[in-house]
Amino acid sequence: MFTHNKALQFETNPAAPDAAFARRLQEVLGGKWGEMTVAMQYLYQGWNCRLPGKYKDMLLAIGTEELSHVEIITTMIGKLLDKAPLSPDEADGTNEKSAAFGGSNPQHTIVNGGGASPQDSNGVPWSGAFVTSSGNLMADFYLNATAEMQGRLQVSRLFHMTDDKGVKDMIRMLVTRDHMHQMQWLAAIEELKADGLDGLPVPEAFPLEEEFDEFSHTFIHASDGAKAVDGRWASGPAPDGRGDFTSALIQAHGQEPELAPGDPRLYGTSVLEETEGLIAKAKDALK
């Protein structure tokens, strides 16, 4: 159950409108790695978590914090859109002004009337497919760490796309929380291991005797880049402690596959029999 406070978790004000930056900010709001994604992902993982206790509690806490970040960014986008020019004619001042008009999102004015929307920096709507909640915390926590890295990478880049101190301060706050959240997920991964809840390879519970050993530690080389085997992934001990890496050129463990001719009622192109063609076969099937 959620409650809301009108005060923002963090707030700054832009010095001037910038519709092009408002468009770009949408990436970290409603893009694949934006705040909508991490908020929903952590909450769904928390709700679906079948292990009561610290992990579930933590997921719900951080998911809730991310909702507050969604609020921070939508608010900033609204502020940046004030006084945006509505047409090329109105944007006809400096080159900077015309560049900003060209780089703005038409829906920000036409659809939202000067407000944010759950979409990315190209105007593609946020998708529920961005959320992963597998039920396996180890697999999901690695993804969560990644999400914070991609997120921090994107806000680090945005930091260089504006000179507005108010906007930069908001970005600095987001960069810093992404710093903390990277640390958090990496620590949680270690804790999962320490608690014996999972291990390598994930899921550890799948019995290794069902695997084919010849494929489990071999780097398969399918390109001619000779240096591909110069990394630690092609020799030396593997992180699972169950053997050493080796490498081999890709090779076939099968032949050219044979597919049966298929049901003639599906009218696919397939093998002609000797004395009758496909047409006759299909007609027979129809009788």
Of residues 149-168, which lie at the interface with a copy of itself (CB under 8 A)? Answer: 149-150, 152-154, 156-163
Q: Is 42 in the site for a copy of itself (CB under 8 A)?
A: no
Q: Which residues pair with 219 in a beta bridge?
A: 247
Instruction: Mark residues 246-265: x for contact with a copy of itself by CB under 8 A, - for none.
Output: ----xxxxxxxxxxxxxxxx
CB closer to a copy of itself, 38 vs 135: 135
CB atoms within 10 A of CB 126: 20
- Report the residue from 14, 35, 38, 117 that binds a copy of itself according to the rule CB under 8 A: 117
Helices 54-80/19-30 angle, 10° precision: 170
- Report the residue from 14, 27, 273, 274 that binds a copy of itself according to the rule CB under 8 A: 27
Instruction: Mark residues 177-206: x for contact with a copy of itself by CB under 8 A, - for none.
Output: xxxx-xxxxxxx-xxx-x-xxx-xxxxxxx
Token representation of residue 151: 């997120």
CB closer to a copy of itself, 38 vs 72: 72
User: What DSSP state is assigned to residue 135?
Assistant: S
C-alpha span between 218 and 15 (Å, rounded) = 56
Q: Is 274 in the site for a copy of itself (CB under 8 A)?
A: no
C-alpha span between 167 and 171 (Å, rounded) = 6
Q: What is the dihedral of CA 149, 153, 155, 159, to 10 degrees?
A: 150
Whether 140 and 133 have beta carbons less than 8 Å apart is answered as yes
185: closest CA among 134, 139, 128, 133?
139
Q: Least distance to a copy of itself from the beta carbon of 38, Å?
A: 13
Size of the site for a copy of itself (CB under 8 A): 213
Q: Least distance to a copy of itself from the beta carbon of 19, Å?
A: 9
- Report the residue from 16, 124, 165, 273 that binds a copy of itself according to the rule CB under 8 A: 124
Q: Least distance to a copy of itself from the beta carbon of 189, Å?
A: 9
Q: Is 101 in the site for a copy of itself (CB under 8 A)?
A: yes
Q: Least distance to a copy of itself from the beta carbon of 180, Å?
A: 5
Q: Least distance to a copy of itself from the beta carbon of 275, Å?
A: 13
CB atoms within 10 A of CB 234: 17
Starting at the earlier edge strand, list the strands of the sheet with 236-237.
Answer: 218-221, 244-249, 236-237
CB closer to a copy of itself, 38 vs 117: 117
C-alpha span between 37 and 205 (Å, rounded) = 29
Whether 120 and 31 have beta carbons less than 8 Å apart is answered as yes
Q: Is 35 in the site for a copy of itself (CB under 8 A)?
A: no
- Report the residue from 14, 35, 38, 71 that binds a copy of itself according to the rule CB under 8 A: 71
Q: Is 16 in the site for a copy of itself (CB under 8 A)?
A: no
CB closer to a copy of itself, 38 vs 154: 154
